[in-house]
Amino acid sequence: MRDVPFGLDGNFSEEAIIKRFNGDLANDLGNLIYRTLTMIEKYYSGLIPELDIYKVKYDASGENIKEKLRNLHQEVYTPLSWDNDFSLALEKIWDVSV
């Protein structure tokens, strides 16, 4: 969905799917999950803490992510509701972690 705009023609190949999978999921998302689980193990003895992120004050980077999460619903809803733009919606979701 990310490589081909919804409703338009595009190139599809097994090689492109594997490349996208390895680039986005295996590398980026896998790295994020690994770092998160490592920090939970190190700082919280492997137990996920209960936390309301909107009540905690973070540094500038954390506050930026918190603001992106606040706006994510509208950022994703708009391209999906107006244009069925799945590519843009996925891009907005992925941007939260950057």
pLDDT tier at 81, thresholds 50, 70, 90 = confident
Cβ 40 vs Cβ 48: under 8 Å: yes
Cβ 93 vs Cβ 12: under 8 Å: no
The contacts of residue 45 (CB under 8 Å, 6+ apart) are none
Q: What is the pLDDT of residues 15-44, one digit of tens each?
A: 887 887 777 777 777 888 888 899 999 988
Give the model's pLDDT for residue 50: 82
Which of the pair, 70 or 41, is modelled with greater confidence? 41
Give the model's pLDDT for residue 51: 77
What's the CA gap between 79 and 83, in Å, rounded?
6
Which of the pair, 52 or 98, is modelled with greater confidence? 52
CB-side neighbour CA atoms (13 Å) of 22: 6
